[in-house]
Amino acid sequence: MKKFIFGFILLVLVAAVFVLFRLFGPATAFDSDNYYLYIRTGATYEQVLDTLKEEHVLRSPAFFNFMAGRMDYPKNVRAGKYEIKKGMGLTTILRMLHNGRQAPVKIVITKFRTLEGLAGAMGKKLEADSAALLDYLHNNDSLRSFGVDSNTVMAIVVPNTYTYFWNTPPSAVFKKMYAAYKAWWTPERVQAAKARNLTPVEATTLASIVEEETNMQADKGKIASVYLNRLAKKMRLGADPTLKFAARDFEARHIYFKNEEIESPYNTYRHEGLPPGPICTPSEATLDAVIHSPSTDYLFFAARPDFSGYSNFSVTFQEHQANANAYRTELRKQEAIRDSIKKK
């Protein structure tokens, strides 16, 4: 009898250890450091369980299923991106899923030229795909609350790193970006733009052109002054980057006369004033250079013939022609040298 009792107690202890190990011991079956479980909006518990089985995430999907029922998880499935770390216990995994403790998603916004490019990059990080995001960006009714439309919406996209949950809907995605935009445009910056007869959106549009004109920070304010002077004199901006945008040819190295005939509201050789909206997402440094641009008489600029990346600025067209011709002459020399090397 004693042996029976001892055996029974031992069996109970073994069973208890087994259950405790299953509950609190390592429950994962994968070899990598972590696994990300994506649960789409509207997904059922059965779909979640099927994913865990198909991806071989757990050592015992059956025990997960048993405990999930006891923790009432099947009725509380929450969409999101969840990080299951190697060696995680079953109760820890279930509590994370039950409570909706998602892994954050970071989206780095740098330089984008088109809505398609922006939506495409963000769609790779979020549940909302690029098509859904693009539809939102083209929906003027949705954008009206931000004071922008499909042409100007890029103005509220300030380059930065944004943190979201994977299942954040497009409206909330851009609401957060709009908050960052409003925070950047302090009263002092708004006033600085106003002193140059620009609204924040107009300043961003001008900054986007400057961003595409040069990488040299020291020249950005002077280039902005050129365009501001042209605007003040009712001259057409004649900005080459707007032609590239109109043609969707961002890698073009040369602008030809035929390009100036492109029919587009973004063609600033044919249409007066600023284009309908930004042609890229300018950096904060470029925006600051525009709203704090110096007062000059410059109306023209041309690349320096030393290929330093800087520009020569001029007041008269005659000075500009001389500067432009000096650059073209040196450019032809460099191209001739490259051609001769290729032929050898």
18-22, 105-109, 145-149, 266-270: least confidently modelled range: 18-22
Per-residue model confidence (pLDDT) at position 116: 95
Q: Which residues on adjacent β-strands are paired with residue 109?
A: 160
| Residue 125 CB burial class (10 angstroms; 0-12, 13-18, ≥19) | middle
Cβ atoms of 49 and 64 within 8 Å: the answer is: yes
pLDDT at residue 312 tops 90: yes
| Residue 319 CB burial class (10 angstroms; 0-12, 13-18, ≥19) | middle
Q: Which residues on adjacent β-strands are paired with residue 84?
A: 35
Cβ atoms of 158 and 177 within 8 Å: the answer is: yes
CATH of domain 21-99: 3.30.1490.480
Q: Locate tokens 């518990």: which residue?
A: 45
Cβ atoms of 109 and 173 within 8 Å: the answer is: no
Per-residue model confidence (pLDDT) at position 262: 81
Per-residue model confidence (pLDDT) at position 137: 95
Question: Average pLDDT in the 209-238 region?
Answer: 97
**Number of CB atoms found within 10 A of residue 29's CB:** 15
Taking only the tens place, the pLDDT of each residue in 41-100 is: 999 999 999 999 999 999 999 999 999 999 999 999 999 999 999 999 999 999 999 999
160-164/80-85 β-pairing: unpaired
Cα separation, 196 vs 290, whole angstroms: 9
Per-residue model confidence (pLDDT) at position 17: 41
pTM here is: 0.84
Taking only the tens place, the pLDDT of each residue in 132-183 is: 999 999 999 999 999 999 999 999 999 999 999 999 999 999 999 999 999 9
What residue spans define the domains of the chain?
A: 21-99, 105-184, 187-298
